Amino acid sequence: MMNFFSAVKPLAALMMLTLVGLIVNAQEPLPCGQPGAQADFDAAHPGAAAEREADEQSARASAQALLERGAQDSELYIIPVVFHVIHDNGEENISDAQIFDAMEILNADFRKLNADTGQIVAGFVDIAADIDVEFRLAKRDPLGNCHSGINRLQDPLTYEGNNEMKQLIHWPRESYMNVYVAASAAGAAGYTNYPSDWGANTDGIVLKHDYVGSIGTSNAYRSRTLTHECGHWLNLPHTWGSSNNPNEEDNCEVDDGVEDTPLCLGSPVGFCDPERTTCGSLDNVQNYMEYSYCSRMYTLGQRARMRAALNNSTADRDELWTPQNIENTGVLEEELLCRAEFTVDRNVVCLGNPVQFVDASFFGITGWSWDFGDGTTLEGTSELEQNPSRVFSEAGEFEVYLTVSNESGSVTSQDPVVIRVLDDGMLPSPLVEGFESATGPWSEGQWEVQTLDGQAWQIRETTGYSGARSLYVRNRQNEGGEITRVTSTTYDAAGMASLFISYKYAYSHRTTGETDDRLKLQVSKDCGDTWNTRQFHRGIIDLPTAEDHGGNFYPSGTDEWTGHIEEVTNDIYMVPNLRVRFEFESKGGNNVFLDDINVYGVDSLGNVQSFVDDMAPNDLSLDVFPNPSEGQATVAAFWPGSDAELDVRDATGRLVYQEKLLGNGGRRVTLNGLAPGVHFIGLTSGNRHTVQRLLVLR
């Protein structure tokens, strides 16, 4: 037979089908992305495709030799497997149970133990094969440490599911089959490449999370994706050949390199007709390398071809099942109690909100004992104690430990997981943040920096809009696509009619060209579970504040800064645990700076939030008119007792006018030349305060 990478067999009789109504929903991913991934791989590694084609005859000869051995070729090959779950704290962070389920299905399929073998049509019952290959989760990592065989890593590349994602973590392919679970598998349900001596650091299988196993985010209909991709990983093409185009007339001329899989057009996605005949003989529609979604079997010829791949040094497949590697990866070791570990759905939570703890310990655990660090413990043997949901009753930072046990003993987690519980209204009100040393919320640890990639928000000691310091990102060292965030603790906005958030920022492009870097102001009404973007500054619109800089940009004066005032009036954000976040996404521009963050809450009477509690004995009177004004306004102030003080501040908190009001009684003051925007007119007498808001039109 000729190479399956070229057309070889004569055209047989065709039976073409009308497919209207049979194609799966267009939103569903392709069943397999192997052909596209293989094309990208070959483009990245010139010579790989030619080498693969040159080795094809040898692969067929090796498979034929194994077929001729018959029952003598019965050695059980065990393949160590490691799962890398790449997630962004979404549903793609599938459970261990879903991975275990996927492994059970994979092994049943490869050992012909799947319950649906009884449904194989008569024409293929006699050649349905037990591959004599089993897959086992690793129990030791590449350094020999005890391991569950499951890694979890948070990264936004989960939405790409590409080769770059594989670079985040990759275990040696001569020791493990790497399986990646992600939010996306590059537009497919799954994909991998044929064995190759090229691209060792991208060798592995990528699966979209909802095509893993039959439970959790997946279902039984999608559960054979891993079986299908393992076929490719062991050098099997689709039954119609090495393309992603089933049901095409030319497929009758393309061989898949396996003697006992008949020439066929290939089933359209999701079309299951076990009696289908397309190229003059009965199609093997129920083959795992079909798109019919009614797969039941591999053939004896496919068995030989996959076992030939495992006996070949290409891609180090012959190293995987050696006794030394089986010992190194620990796959046959007893499930002895080894490590206490757990995960949480959040490390920062507001008072009254739950934290979900999920046990990730191994192996053979029968009992769990939790120390939540706040004086409370939980102990037991049920699922409730294994994966508890905990509501902390007080604010603070708590170190949580887990001790797991079975009949052989117990072990405690080595490093604590720290849970920070935020109280309501932790930030001062009004909030004035200038990032100066030893003053303000930054110095008190009330801002948290989270960097997904690249350079982080950090203090610049010698550059500020006001004062000496500011927050900045050394963006000139980023290449593009990096994201860093700075997030506040809680601000008490309960009962407010509106909230004002103001800040100063500075940024410039590089002289090499305009970029579309992004600075976002975001607020959260639910303590950080969800975020709403209130302001979006873009590099191609309003982010630049200075001329392009060839070197590192550091603003030389206030004229290279600008500011923004955001008014929030939606009642859903007037909560006692509002949080504020600034997110910067690099697109390859220059440094960006942030300074003078101020937050004011104003009630329905125009009172600034911080003064509301002091107004109980409110015998002060303050009227401002006209309001809104066009730059000029009259203030009528009345107070009992001796002396008062009138001050005017803009929405950033900057004092723009101040006057002593002597004596007892009242006074009218005319304000002129006020800049457009929001101003706060304050009257103070003794320990009493009142404030009115004045809007100056632009």
Do 578 and 629 fall within a single domain? no
**What is the CA 600 to chain-centroid distance, rounded?**
33
Task: Please check whether residue 54 lies inside any domain of the structure.
Answer: no
CATH value at residue 550: 2.60.120.200
pLDDT at 20: 28
Q: Examine the domain organization and report whether 286 and 413 are in the same domain.
A: no
- Is a pLDDT exceeding 50 seen at residue 21? no
- In this structure, the answer to whether residues 573 and 621 fall within a common structural domain is no
pLDDT per residue over 297-334, tens digit each?
A: 999 999 999 999 999 999 999 999 999 999 999 999 98
The C-alpha atoms of residue 319 and residue 438 are separated, in whole angstroms, by: 59
Instruction: Note whether residue 418 is domain-resident.
Output: yes
Burial 237-264 (b: 16+ CB within 10 A, else e): bbbbbbbbebbeeebbbbbbbbbbbbbb
CB atoms inside a 10 Å sphere around CB 179: 29
Place of tokens 């490691």: 82
Q: Taking all residues of the chain, what is their mean pLDDT, rounded to a whole number?
A: 90
- Whether residue 21 is contained in a domain is answered as no
DSSP 215-244: STT--GGGTTHHHHHHHHHTT--BTTBSSS
The pLDDT > 70 percentage for the chain reads 94
Q: Which residues contact 59 (CB under 8 A, 6 or more apart)?
A: 235, 257, 305, 308, 309, 312
Is residue 506 included in any domain, yes or no? yes
User: Does residue 285 contact residue 265 with C-beta atoms inside 8 Å?
Assistant: no
In a domain, 453, yes or no: yes
Q: Is 229 a catalytic residue?
A: yes
Spatial separation of the C-alpha atoms in residues 557 and 559, rounded to whole Å = 5
Side chain identity at residue 212, one-letter code: V
Query: Quick one: 383 and 460 in the same domain?
Result: no
What residues make up the domain containing 353?
342-422
Of 182, 211, 188, give the one whose Cα is nearest residue 101. 211
Dump pLDDT digits (tens) for 408-431. Answer: 899 999 999 999 999 999 999 888
Residue 252 — φ and ψ, nearest 5°? -65, -15
Residue pLDDT, tens place only, 465-485: 988 999 999 999 998 989 999
What pLDDT score was predicted for residue 615?
35
CATH number, position 400: 2.60.40.10
Q: What is the CB-side half-sphere exposure of residue 278 using CA atoms within 13 A?
A: 27
Question: For residue 312, what are its two tokens?
Answer: 């070949």
| CB-CB neighbours of 392 under 10 Å | 21
**Is 214 within the bounds of a domain?**
yes
pLDDT value at 612 more than 60? no
Rounded Cα distance, 507 and 547, in Å: 9
Are 413 and 289 in the same domain?
Answer: no
Question: How far is 682 from 632, CA to CA, in rounded Å?
Answer: 16
Q: How far is CA 474 from the centre of its chain?
A: 24
Please count the residues of the chain: 698
Please state the rounded mean pLDDT for residues 690-698.
81
pLDDT tens sequence across 218-248: 999 999 999 999 999 999 999 999 999 999 9
Quickly list H helices, 34-79: 34-44, 48-69
**Marked catalytic residue, from 229, 259, 341, 433:** 229
Burial readout 435-470 (b: 16 or more C-beta within 10 A, e: otherwise): bbeeebbbeeebbbeebbebbbbeebeebbbbeebb
Q: What is the pLDDT of residue 603?
A: 79
- In this structure, are 286 and 271 located in the same domain? yes
Q: Environment class of residue 490 by beta-carbon count within 10 Å: exposed (0-12), middle (13-18) or buried (19+)?
A: buried
Query: CATH number for the domain including 615?
Result: 2.60.40.3080
SS3 per residue for 253-291:
HECCCCCCCCCCCCCCCCCCCCCCECCCCECCCCECCCC
Into how many domains does the chain fold?
4
Bridge partners, residue 690, by sequence: 683
pLDDT category, 575, cuts 50, 70, 90?
Answer: very high
Q: Do 324 and 408 share a structural domain?
A: no
H or E element: which one contains 303?
helix 300-310
Same domain for 173 and 241, yes or no, is yes
The reported pLDDT for the residue numbered 457 is 98
pLDDT at 22: 35
* Predicted confidence (pLDDT) per residue in 263-275, tens digit: 999 999 999 999 9
What DSSP string runs through 596-619?
EEEEEEE-TTS-BGGGGGGGTT--
Say whether both 615 and 596 belong to one domain. no
Please give the C-alpha separations between residue 466 and each of 47, 233, 653, in angstroms, as whole numbers. 60, 60, 12
Banded pLDDT at 607 (limits 50, 70, 90): low
Do 685 and 596 share a domain, yes or no? no
Q: Between vectors from CA 478 to CA 475 and to CA 482, what angle results, nearest 5°?
A: 95
Query: Residues 135, 79: contact at Cβ < 8 Å?
Result: yes
Same domain, 163 and 274: yes
CA–CA separation, 398 vs 392, rounded Å?
Answer: 9
- Same structural domain for residues 571 and 674? no
Domain at 304, CATH number: 3.40.390.10
**Final residue in a domain of this structure, among 267, 302, 329:** 329
Spacing of C-alpha 329 from chain mean position:
29
Does 233 reside within a domain? yes
**Which of these three, 582, 602, 622, is where a domain ends?**
602
Of the chain, the percentage scoring pLDDT greater than 90 comes to 76
Residue at a domain's end among 574, 602, 630:
602
Does the residue 27 lie in any domain?
no
Which residues neighbour 377 within 8 Å (Cβ) at sequence distance 6 or greater?
369, 370, 371
pLDDT tens digits, 322-332: 999 999 999 99
